[in-house]
Every structure is written in structure tokens, then in C-alpha cells.
Amino acid sequence: MTRARQVGTLPDGRAVHAHVLVAPGLRLEVLDLGATVHSLRLADGSQEVEVVLGYAELADHVADPPDFHGAVVGRWANRIAFSRFSIDGTTYELDANEGLTCLHGGPDGFHRRTWSVVEAADDHLVLELVSPDGDAGFPGRLVARATYGVSPGEVVIELTATADAPTVVSLTNHAYLGLAGGGSVEDHLLTVDAGRWLPVDDASIPTGVEAVDGTPFDLRAPTRLGDVVASPHPQVAAAGGLDHAYLLDATGLRRAARLEHPASGRAVEVITDQPSLQVYTGNGLDGSRRGHDGRPMTRHGGVALETQRPPDAPNQPELGPSVLRPGEEYRSTTVWRFEGFGR
């Protein structure tokens, strides 16, 4: 069994438990609240390096505005324009939480829910959440599962879902990665294996598909994040950094991105079977909340590499499929493969 312990209670009285998964040189802590990656520590010589951002205070997991640290978000990861979509001629109105937009499942999304433990062992954990018909406006009863597995230098995240009525679903983990053990990720190098990206309007809704050529969104070669977030490009300036989706090259389980910290020689490759990667450079982290080390979490203190279906695909079918029907299973696999640790 995993080493589970109660780590506290939320303002509404719910108890929160942490499950620890271990592999040689790696320790992953997952909360039942939001199926959240709360901590991921890798051994590097005589020290352990924390590679994800996490809150010091449990209450911050359910505070507004949310930062979604490490949580599984849904029912639809990312944004749905005007908080509505249609399936088979029926329009569904959703709960909005970003102006008129439904972001990451709405104001009471999966990141705020307590997930049930289905299976637990030292090297893997299966959590389940039942989302009822009409939850946040989404149709159908949805059963979602998040499976975490660890092995030396690697974390595997498998997200699945089934439904008893046609609905839309896209799940992702919203961890903020950083390989320096603290501080800004501006000195990290990021590679994204994508030749196309999605520009957005003022509500961060995609307005089309464009080639990355000749733009700061061209990350096909290792690129310093500090140079990208400082770009005067109107899309970067408006967001305060990157908060954009890429349409990944190729299909199947393949590399989507590589994050490197040259000063330490550490790196992580993100491998996925999903069609899109949202790159978010923590532009909204404003120092009002504290991290693991007790220090304020500030802008560009981590980068979220969210493997998912493209934003607003329920309203823009040209971006790819979004509907899950009875008898089908939604599946998503993402692997974090670390290098340069254990030296």
C-alpha cells in the first residue's frame, strides 16, 4: 500500500490525505483533493530536488482565483467559449469562471473535488471521481480515473473517463514544473515539438491555426524561456508570457516537449498521446501564495506543460474531436521522463 496520511482539513471540513509513491531516487506525493501532484522530489547527489510547485497551505487549493497547482482539471481542460457548446443539436450552458468563459471545468471543477482511492501500492495509485449529470452544466454522468505510476526517473499519468450520455471531456494534469529547485524558470530552455500554434482573442479563445515560423512561438529548438516571455509580440505581451496551445507534430505516444535547466544539467521530457500542449509560464502567479519552501510563488516561477485536447474544440470541431459517447472510453497518457538526476 502507499504511505497515506491525513495532511489537514479544508475550510469546509473535508479531510485531505496524501499518498506517497516511491521508486529509486524519486518520491511522488499525490493528494486525494483534485488528484493533485503536490510534491515530486528527485535525488541528485546528496540532495533531493523539488521539481513541481505546490501550496504551503491546503486552503489555497480551493481559494479564488485558482492556480490549479498539480491538479487534474476537468471536465474540460482549458477554455470553452461563452460557457456553452452543442451536441446533436442540443445546447448546454456551463458555469462560467473566467468572464464569460468556462475554464478547466468551471468554478467547482475537478481540482476542488475529493477523489476516491480505487487502488494503492508503493509504485502506483488509482483515484476515481464521479461527476453527476448536469455537473457545472455538462451532460451525462461521467466516471473519471487518474492513475499515477512511478519508476526510476519517470512518472506516468493515465487519465480515463466513461459516460452514460454524450458529453465532452478533456482531462490534464496542471503541474508547474521547474528543475532548479526554486526560483524562476526564465533560465530554463524549452523545446516544443510543434509547427503550429493557436493565437487567441481577448478571452483567450483560439481564433485559428498559424505556423510558428518567424514568431516567438517557434520552440522547435531549445529556447530560453526568459527571452520568450519578454517578447514584444502582441500575443505574448497580452498574456504576460505564454498561455497558448500548440498542435503537436505526429500522433500516438511521442515526445511533446523538453524542459532543460542548463546550469544543473537536469531535464524532463514530456511524452504524450494527446494532440495538443498548452504552455503556460505561470504569468498569474503574483506572490500572494506560498510554496513548499514557504516563499511566495511569483510570476514565471514554473511552467505548466498541459497535454490535452485543444481549447474550445467543442465549439471548433476543426481542432479535433471532443465528444465522448456511451460505450466509448476517453484515454490520455502522459509521461514525465527526467534526466540529469542521481549523479
Catalytic: which of 104, 111, 174, 300? 174
The question of whether 57 is a catalytic residue gets the answer: no
Indicate if 174 belongs to the active site: yes
Cα distance between residue 33 and residue 26, in whole Å: 22
H-helix or E-strand spanning residue 146: strand 142-151
d(CA 32, CA 2): 12
CA-to-CA distance for 224 and 281, rounded, in angstroms? 12
Q: Put residue 117 in one of left, alpha, beta given phi > 0 → left and psi -120 to 50 → alpha.
A: beta
Peptide bond into 290 cis (omega under 30): no
Which positions ≥6 away from 232 have C-beta within 8 Å? Answer: none
How many distinct helices (H) and strands (E) make up the chain? Answer: 2, 30
Classify each residue of 25-44 as buried b or exposed e, where b means 16 or more C-beta atoms within 10 Å of its C-beta: ebbbbbbbbbbbbbbbbbbb
Residues 103 and 98: their CA atoms lie apart, in Å, by 6
Q: Answer yes or no: are the C-beta atoms of 142 and 169 closer than 8 Å.
A: yes
The CA-based diameter of the chain, rounded to the nearest angstrom, is: 60
Q: Are the C-beta atoms of 216 and 228 separated by less than 8 Å? A: yes
Active site residues: 174, 306
